Structure 1
Amino acid sequence: MARRCYGSTSVVAFLMVCAALVSVINVGQLSVFLRTKRHTAYGPDTGLYSIGYTLRGNLSMESCQAVPDSLVGKLNIDLGAALKSPTPSKHQDMLPGGAWSPKSCVSRQRISIIIPFRDRQAHLDILVYNLVPVLKRQKVAFRIFVVEQFGNKTFNKGRLMNIGFTEARKHDEFDCFIFHDVDLIPEDDRNMYTCSDNPRHMSPALDKFNYTMLYKSLVGGVLSFRDKHFTKVNGYSNLYWGWGAEDDDMHKRLSASKLSVERPSITIGRYTMIKHDKKDVSSVRLSLLKTSTTRYLKDGLNTLEYKLVETRLEKLWTRIIANVGDPPKNQTENPL
């Protein structure tokens, strides 16, 4: 009798579980979420939601087109428009922290845009004003991270990009990381903000240089990586204080790691550069470059040190403020 009751109880429990699943699972409405570290915030209309859960799309939907029909090609860049209306109505569908995903299809890749930053708010407003519509037309799910150096010590772009990569992965799982200078505005939305089989230098042609690539090893400006490739090259060097050469160092890391660099055509990979002054030019950048290939495995992500000051969810980006430390008092010698 006890065995029969136990069997009946098991059957009832099984049927209750099935009924619960049937009531929850509606293939037409089921959305896929990837769980990562939770960051709870208040949405403008929906109350509490979790930033750490990213909507991947409806299971009944198809994947977005690799080259969407919504692309328009060559763009007319108005650098002054963003300053007149830094948060236009077309950005109202973005989640706090600068996250967005298409609602009509499932994005093929989830993109982290990492922008190293300090004291150039007008440039940031112009970039995001122009970049966000491009990303939306490309149907990519994205989140923008502005990585700001704390204090007024000498700028270290390499460390900020390593910090951006490290911190972004705490917020979500991304398929692609794009390191983006704050002063470069894309001129053609056919230049896809996605990752390829190899790292991709997206900005080979700047208006400042008459849309010609200055040299073959150029990878500065806008550069996309898959997680495994950025880890393989050990990220950027942490040793370049001041302007210059951290990008050339990256090219040497790519070569030493036997990773090829892809590029869009010169006619599509075009960017407008916002004029600005270059300050604090590194005095040891050329001597550091000579040791790039022997140094890269012990200078980068695996030696990164910083103090996270604040992470703030703003309307159009996640602002990460970090103390990168102090530059060495004597930079005439290679510390490694």
Structure 2
Amino acid sequence: MWGSGRPCKKRTGTVFFHDVNLLPEDNRNLYICDIFPAHVSVAIDTFNYKLELSGMLLSRPHLLFGRYHMLEEGLDSSHEQSPKSPGFLAEIQRRWQQDGANSLGYTLLSKELQPLYTNLTVDITVPAPGAPEPS
């Protein structure tokens, strides 16, 4: 979803992508513009507050502030785990540098200007440009 903010970057300045099932545990984790992309959820309870790093240069809050609680699956029926997840997750180590936000296809569905943020709603079921058609 990183790329979905690019068309609006000139008008908004900064774009934040947030998982709906992550709840901040500390209100001192500031959502601000910085010179590097920000990764604000540096410690998630479900992952035992550990983070795997990919070597990307990012701005991160202090570990005490960037703590999040992940809501359990099943609480929201619209967010059920896909039956394809086990096989898909097993392939991540092989595909993570080529597949993901940098190759995601999307359609901007709506843009809502709020006093402190702009909410972008995107459809990510659109194939990425140049991606083969599903068989």
Alignment partner for residue 277 of structure 1, among 75, 79, 82?
75
Based on CA coordinates, which of the two structures has the bigger radius of gyration?
1
Structure scoring higher RCO (CA < 8 A, sep ≥ 6) equals 2
Cα-Cα RMSD: 4.1
Shift of 1:277: 0.9
Q: Deviations over 1:229-283 (max 9, x none)?
A: xxxxxxxxxxxxxxxxxxxxxx5xx53xx347756234x4445667881432122
Check 1:322–1:273 CA distance in 2 against 1; reply closer, same or farther (3 A cut): closer
Match of 1:171 in 2: 11
The yes-or-no answer on 1:187 pairing with 2:23 is no
Q: What does 1:7-26 align with in structure 2 at a 5 Å threshold?
A: none
Check 1:184–1:294 CA distance in 2 against 1; reply closer, same or farther (3 A cut): same
User: Which residue identity is paired with 1:180?
Assistant: H
Match of 2:43 in 1: 204
TM superposition score normalised by structure 2: 0.54
Query: Percent of aligned positions with the same letter in both sequences?
Result: 25
TM superposition score normalised by structure 1: 0.28
Structure 2 counterpart SS, 1:165:
helix
Q: What does 1:203-222 align with in structure 2 at a 5 Å threshold?
A: 203-204=42-43, 214=48, 216-217=50-51
The yes-or-no answer on 1:286 pairing with 2:86 is yes
Q: What does 1:225-264 align with in structure 2 at a 5 Å threshold?
A: 251=52, 254-255=53-54, 258-259=55-56, 264=62
Which structure: greater strand fraction?
1
Q: Say how many residue pairs are matched.
A: 122
Structure 2 counterpart SS, 1:180:
coil
Q: Tell me, which stretches of 5 or more residues in structure 2 are unaligned?
A: 128-133
Shift of 1:318: 2.3
